[in-house]
């Protein structure tokens, strides 16, 4: 039986330092691009992501088609109501079909906001955050990779939703003797600023979910902010409550899409920065807490 021998120190095996080995093993996963790749795989593997995205497209197209049919079928009544002052004059006229493609955005944004909430809250609810943050101890790459992915997905799904809705609205409008002008300013505002508004509200939901660390609270918050609170505030004839209503996310989104019909006393650029603030503040607080709190 022979034993291995080394004739000189240069032939001795050089052990890899443990710390250097660990960095080389973890480094590929800790860089931001690697984390993004991992988060894409996670999102694609979640059945809820596909279901919510598809449902939001169905809502976009279905409500746009329903709205176009209703306006076309009752255009005479709508025009008469506008002439009598019962509804704003902007609510009547053939140009109204240029804004039909985004009719379902308020329902669809709840589904996409739920997608954003599940993307971050599932980490804490299932306990997967322990493994995720152990692999990436600095934590911020995971948080911002998730946020970036939510922004891209929600904007992209909304953009596709508007395009598909426009394809459905056009033949309905022509059936009633009207048309949809996709080159008009009204349509272009829906095409680009509605996805931006949906993305901002989804990121706001993402940030709230990171703060609360569950799914129910953020989703109920979105329902209250998008549907309940605007309806309650609009009942009261109070200047302070009116100012609050003007700066809610749904109101700012209507201004960006030019659908406010003069109801909100906010200009375009203040509405844009207001919408950014609604997204940025919860995102920043969520990022800070993700870094500071125990998993």
What confidence tens digit (pLDDT) does each residue in 106-147 have?
999 999 999 999 998 888 777 666 666 666 667 778 899 999
Read off the pLDDT band of 153 (50, 70, 90).
very high
Task: Give alpha helix (H) positions in the chain.
Answer: 18-30, 32-45, 47-73, 75-84, 105-125, 128-135, 140-175, 185-212, 216-223, 229-233, 239-246, 249-256, 268-292
- DSSP 8-state symbol, 93: S
- Share above pLDDT 70 across residues of the chain, in percent, rounded to a whole number: 77
Distance set, CA 268 to CA 2, 103, 123, 240, 243 (Å): 84, 20, 37, 21, 16
| Structure token digits, residue 265 | 């006393």
pLDDT bracket for residue 24 (50, 70, 90): very low
- The token duo for 66 is 């329903």
pLDDT in tens, 65-86: 999 998 887 776 666 665 666 5
Q: What are the CA-CA distances from residue 129 to residues 108, 126, 269, 289, 295 (Å)?
A: 28, 8, 38, 14, 7
Residue 48's alpha-carbon distances to 117, 169, 214, 273, in angstroms, are 11, 28, 16, 31
């Amino acid at each position: 039986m022979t034993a291995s021998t080394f004739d000189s120190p240069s032939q001795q095996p050089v052990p890899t330092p443990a710390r250097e080995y660990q960095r080389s093993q973890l480094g590929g996963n800790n860089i931001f691009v690697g984390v993004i790749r991992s988060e894409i795989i996670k999102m694609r593997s979640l059945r809820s992501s596909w279901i919510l995205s598809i449902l939001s497209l169905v809502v976009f197209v279905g409500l746009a088609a329903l709205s176009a049919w209703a306006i076309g079928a009752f255009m005479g009544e709508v025009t008469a109501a506008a002439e009598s002052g019962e509804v704003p004059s902007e609510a009547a006229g053939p140009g109204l079909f240029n804004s039909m493609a985004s009719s379902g955005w308020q329902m669809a944004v709840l589904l996409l906001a739920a997608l954003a909430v599940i993307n971050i809250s599932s980490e804490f609810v299932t306990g997967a955050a322990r493994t995720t943050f152990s692999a990436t101890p600095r934590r911020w790459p995971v948080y911002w990779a998730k946020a970036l992915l939510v922004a891209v997905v929600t904007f992209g799904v909304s953009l596709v939703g508007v395009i598909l809705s426009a394809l459905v609205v056009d033949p309905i409008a022509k059936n009633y003797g009207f048309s949809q002008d996709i080159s008009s300013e009204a349509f272009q505002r829906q095409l680009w600023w509605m996805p931006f508004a949906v993305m901002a509200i989804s990121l706001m939901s993402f940030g709230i979910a990171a703060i609360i660390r569950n799914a129910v609270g953020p989703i109920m918050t979105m329902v209250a902010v998008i549907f309940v609170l605007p309806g309650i505030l609009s009942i009261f004839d109070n200047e302070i409550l009116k100012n609050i209503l003007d700066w809610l996310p749904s109101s700012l989104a209507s201004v960006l899409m030019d659908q406010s019909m003069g109801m909100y006393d906010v200009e375009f650029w203040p509405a844009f920065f207001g919408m950014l603030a609604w997204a940025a503040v919860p995102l920043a607080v969520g990022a800070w807490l993700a870094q500071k709190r125990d998993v």
